[in-house]
Amino acid sequence: MKVLVVNCGSSSVKYMLFEMDSEKKVAWGLIECIGLPQAFYKRQTINAEEKKEAVKVINHTEAVELIIKELLDKKVGSIVGIEEIAVVGHRIVHGGDRFSKSVLVTEEVKEDLKDCFSIAPLHTPAHYDGILAVEKMLPAIPSVLVFDTAFHQTMPDYAYMYALPYEFYEKNHIRKYGFHGTSHNYVSQRAAAMLGKPIDELNLITAHLGNGSSIAAIEKGKVIDTSMGFTPLQGVMMGTRCGDIDPAIVAYLLDEYPQYKDGSTLSDLMNKKSGLAGISGIAGDMRAIIQASDEGNKRAVLAFEMLTYSIKKYISTYYGILNGVDGLVFTAGIGENSAPAREAVCKNLSALGIEIDAARNGECSSKERFISVKDSKVKIMIIPTNEELMIARESRKVLIQATNVL
């Protein structure tokens, strides 16, 4: 069985085709800058080197058309006929409180997805366009939606509510949703496999640390809290996002600075000009920050310390609400690759039974592995995330369930 995973952004389509018997990716790529003169198409297969070329693509439908044509290409394609694709899995950033799990696309589901436009206006309309484009190009193939927010839907109300007047929750659906759910789900399952125990016997903290970062507290396989909130701005400090700040600062800036009179300018400040970039004045990229720190740049050192301290605070809090933890997982760009960041996060947490092994942590490897000292109470793991594979698995599962019901 083959599953096509599609991730549509406002001006891009990314895809990955999986052979599910082996769970291996067989073709992958992306089309970026859709509708712009600089649009390009980059793709690769297990049998062919990466190819990149300029393309003229005016909308998502044309982008999907181009991808399908290439997949079917007699010379470099990965399928002989469209019917080889059993199901298409779409990554959806925000499912609001309407979607608590992956669903098969129906007319009703598409209508409900439209209701989520207002809470993720940058992403959801693009996802919707992508769904229509796939339906047009592959009308006989079922589609499944897999939501970044769904894995966090198990949070109790006292964790996901904000202490604002209740009507903002009722009318505007303002509550914590959490993000990177597909990644937290994937790495928590892998962690259970590495620890050799069923997931429902484990307490885990998963730290997805990339340009955007979030931490999740997972009790017996179910998220009980996570650091991102109504939007992916809340939580730990990130590459260009401020994370948690005193909300009164927003009111202060609105009152004091005429240039911040509207929400989108302030949102731009907090999402794109803050975090590592805002503090260091250098970049939002961790590699650049570490290099500048090594060269003695004081603001880069401060940015690094602030970011790792904010992660440490969440881990300590989640240790408390979980009442003990079996495993701590690091994943995504920083979590998988930055030994100094992992070391700083875990430093002085031995009272919680979190003890990192310097040599194991410093090893250069892209494989999943343990990095705690042998008798560390909490096992520390690096697990490369694989959101696309998780989406492919979910899509196959939903398809099989639906086929059994029909």
CB of 331 to ligand AMP, least distance (A): 8
Closest CA relative to residue 146, chosen from 333, 396, 383 = 396
Residue nearest to ligand AMP (CB): 333
Q: Is residue 390 close enough to count as binding ligand AMP by CB under 6 A?
A: no
CB 131 within 8 A of CB 123: no
* d(C-alpha 228, C-alpha 212), whole Å: 10
Q: Is residue 16 close enough to count as binding ligand AMP by CB under 6 A?
A: no
Burial class (CB in 10 A: 0-12, 13-18, 19+), 165: exposed
Closest CA relative to residue 20, chosen from 92, 90, 84, 77 = 84
CB of 332 to ligand AMP, least distance (A): 4
Q: Which residue has the tokens 């982008």?
A: 63
Q: Is residue 332 close enough to count as binding ligand AMP by CB under 6 A?
A: yes
Q: Which stretch binds ligand AMP (CB under 6 A): 16-24, 264-272, 296-304, 333-341?
A: 333-341
**Number of Cβ within a 10 Å radius of residue 158:** 7
Q: Could you say which of 129, 148, 225, 326 is catalytic?
A: 148
Based on CB atoms, which residue is closest to ligand AMP, 82 or 288?
288
Q: Which stretch binds ligand AMP (CB under 6 A): 68-76, 82-90, 164-172, 285-293?
A: 285-293
CB 184 within 8 A of CB 177: no
The two three-digit tokens of residue 103, written as one number = 């669903």
Whole-angstrom Cα Rg for the chain: 22
* Active-site annotation holds for 73: no
Q: Is residue 286 close enough to count as binding ligand AMP by CB under 6 A?
A: yes
Q: Which stretch binds ligand AMP (CB under 6 A): 3-11, 151-159, 249-257, 283-291?
A: 283-291
* d(C-alpha 77, C-alpha 5), whole Å: 16
Which one among 261, 287, 298, 347 touches ligand AMP, defined by CB under 6 A? 287
Q: Is residue 197 close enough to count as binding ligand AMP by CB under 6 A?
A: no
Q: Is residue 371 close enough to count as binding ligand AMP by CB under 6 A?
A: no
Helix, strand or coil, per DSSP, at residue 195: helix
CB of 145 to ligand AMP, least distance (A): 23
Residues at the interface with ligand AMP (CB under 6 A): 210-211, 239, 285-287, 332-334, 337-338
